[in-house]
Chains A and B, each alone.
Chain A
Amino acid sequence: MNVISRGFHGRRRDEGDRLPPGQYLVEDFPVLSAGPTPRVPLDRWEFAIDTEAGVTHRWSWPEFQALPQETPTVDIHCVTEWSKLDTSWEGVSLDVLFEDVDTDASYALVYSYGGYTTNLPLEDLLDGKAWIAHRFDGEELEPRHGGPARLIVPHLYFWKSAKWVRGIRLLDDDHPGFWETAGYHNYGDPWREQRYEGD
C-alpha cells in the first residue's frame, strides 16, 4: 500500500469511449526514444518489403512519393498511457505497397534506420489498417517523430508504429521485436490493455 500524498492529483485520467482503459489524453505529442535519432538523407532513403521467398521490393523516395497518397485521421495510443485523438497524417497505405507482393507469410517484422524492430501479424498491416506516413499535421514529418517516414498502425499501441521505417520482412514464424523481447506484449491491443508480456 503506497503512502498517499495529500493534495496530489496527478495528471488528468480521462473517461470516454474513445479512450482505451488506463489511458489519459494529451494535447502535445510526447517523444519517446530508445536511441539516437537517425538522420536519413532523402537521396539515400529507401523502403523495402522482403518476402519469405527472398524477393525484395524497393522504393526510392521519388518512387514512394509518386504512389497514391492518403490522409488518414486517427487516434493514437501509447503504452506509456497517453492517447492523442484525431491526429492527421499523409502517406501511402500498406495495401498499395503490397499490391505486387506475392506472399503466404503470416508475420511481419518491421525494421528501422537506427536498428529498431517491431513485429505484428501481416494481416494487421493490410485492409486499410496501416500506412507509411511522411507528413504529420500538414508538415513534413520531423526526425524526432520518425521522419522521413514512419509506420502508422493506430489500432495497436504506438510502439508498433515504428519511426524511421526502412522496411518490412515477411516471415512464416513470428519474430519478436525490440520491445517485444524486453517485457512488452507481443501483440499490444490497447482496448484489451495488452501492455506487458502476460497481460
Chain B
Amino acid sequence: MSVLSQMALLFIGAALVNNMLLTRFIGLCPFFGVSSSMSTSVGMSLAVVFVMTLASGATWMAWKFVLSPLGVGEFLYIPAFILIIAALVQFVEMYLRKASPVLYRAMGIYLPLITTNCAVLATATEAAKPGFFKMNIPLGPSLGLGEALVYTLGVSVGFGFALLTFAALRERLEAAPVPAALRGAPIAFISAGLLSFAYVGLAGWFGL
C-alpha cells in the first residue's frame, strides 16, 4: 500500500469509522456542554482541531526524544502529557490574543476548557504511545511524526463534524414536543444514541 493511501485510510479511520465522540465516548463533556447552539459548536470545533494537532506533535516529540530515551515514560507519561497540554493551551491563548484577535474571538473562551477535554489527552497519548485503541489500520507499533499528525487531524476533524451534526440536531429539538420526563438532558442522550447508530454503521468501510 502506498504511503498516500495509507495516510488517507488513517484519516478516514480516525475521523469517521472510529469517531472519537460517537463510537468511543471520548470528549462527551463538550459534546453535551456546548452543543446547545451552533455558534459555540463552531468555535469549540475550531479550537479542538487547532489545539489537538499541536498537542499531539508536542507529546510525540516529548515521548520520542525525552521520556522514552530516559526510560521514565511508563510512570511519567500521564503527568508529563497533561502538563504539556496545559502549558501549550496557555501559550496558544496568549499568542492568539496578541497575534490574531479575530481567531481569538472565535475560539478564545473555549481554549481553557480544552485542557480538561479528555479527547485531547486521549489523542495525544495515542499518537505518542500507541496501543490503547484497536484500529484495523496496518500500522507499526509506533507512529512516525507524519502519521501521528494525520491521525490527530483525522480525530479532531471527526470530533468537529460530530459536534456540528449534533448541534444542528439539538437546535431542532428545542422546538420539538418532548415528553416532560425526557426534556433536557435525557432526550439529548437518546438523540445522540440515534446519531451513534449512523457511525456504528460505518464500521467495515474500506476494510477498516
Q: Do A and B bind each other?
A: no
Binding site for B on A (CB under 8 A): none
